[in-house]
Amino acid sequence: MLAVALAAADRDEEALEQLRRTTARRPPFPPAFLELGRQLGDAGRFDEGIAALESGLALAPGVLDLRVGLGYLHLKRNDRAEARAFFSQVLTVAPGPHEVLVALAKVMALDGEYADAAVLYRRALGLKPDDAATRISLGKCLLEIGEREAGEATLRAATRGAAGLAGLAIMALAAAPHGRFFLRPSAAAKFLRVEKN
């Protein structure tokens, strides 16, 4: 907690030093390894962050959050094969974590596996039906695989009650090869049926 407070106060090196001291203690405290990896990753020091999480995983191999953290760091580094491996390992042991389903689906979508990504996004929405960001990602995948009506309906559902996400939905529509492009924002809002606040 002290390291988190130090980082929030822009005292990054002190925060990292506090975390290094905490991760050196035994028995190991896995949240300290996670925080150290996260802070190093946020600073763009991915190799150091990965090394910190791997050392934590060596000491506490059963802590799935360390594998999830490694997956995210590899994804930030655009090492999608490693990210996919870590997220898949977690889903093999615990098939339901929402954030891991979404993360693996993102990797699949980045690799052009839109149909498989859509399956995982649907599973994630089964766990958290009100997750509008995941619904937008699902809509993008559906557009990419040519399911235009379903994709558009999914994007409309995502912006219902979340007008702040209309921009993401409009970008999804415009970016997909089977999407739509609007010259006026008001036309896009009308198409998505976004309600003005």
User: Based on the number of CB atoms within 10 Å of its own CB, is 52 exposed (0-12), middle (13-18) or buried (19 or more)?
Assistant: buried
Query: How far is Cα 179 from Cα 103, in angstroms, rounded to an integer?
Result: 24
CA angle 127, 133, 135 (to 5 degrees): 60
φ/ψ of 186, rounded to 5, equals -65, -35
Decide if 138 contacts 156 (C-beta within 8 A).
Answer: no
The full set of domains in the chain, from first to last, is: 1-94 (1.25.40.10), 96-197 (1.25.40.10)
pLDDT band for 48, please (50, 70, 90 cuts): very high
Is residue 197 predicted with pLDDT exceeding 70?
no
Structure-token pair, residue 85: 């491996």
pLDDT band for 157, please (50, 70, 90 cuts): very high
Average pLDDT of the residues of the chain = 91
Question: In this predicted model, what pLDDT tens digit does every residue of 71-90 receive, in sequence order?
Answer: 999 999 999 999 999 999 99
Question: In this predicted model, what pLDDT tens digit does every residue of 86-136 receive, in sequence order?
Answer: 999 999 999 889 999 999 999 999 999 999 999 999 999 999 999 999 999
50 C-beta neighbours (distance < 10 Å), count: 21
Cα dihedral sign, 23-3-101-94: positive
Q: If you ran DSSP here, which 8-state letter would residue 194 be given?
A: P
Decide if 148 contacts 176 (C-beta within 8 A).
Answer: no
In this predicted structure, what is the pLDDT of residue 8?
Answer: 82
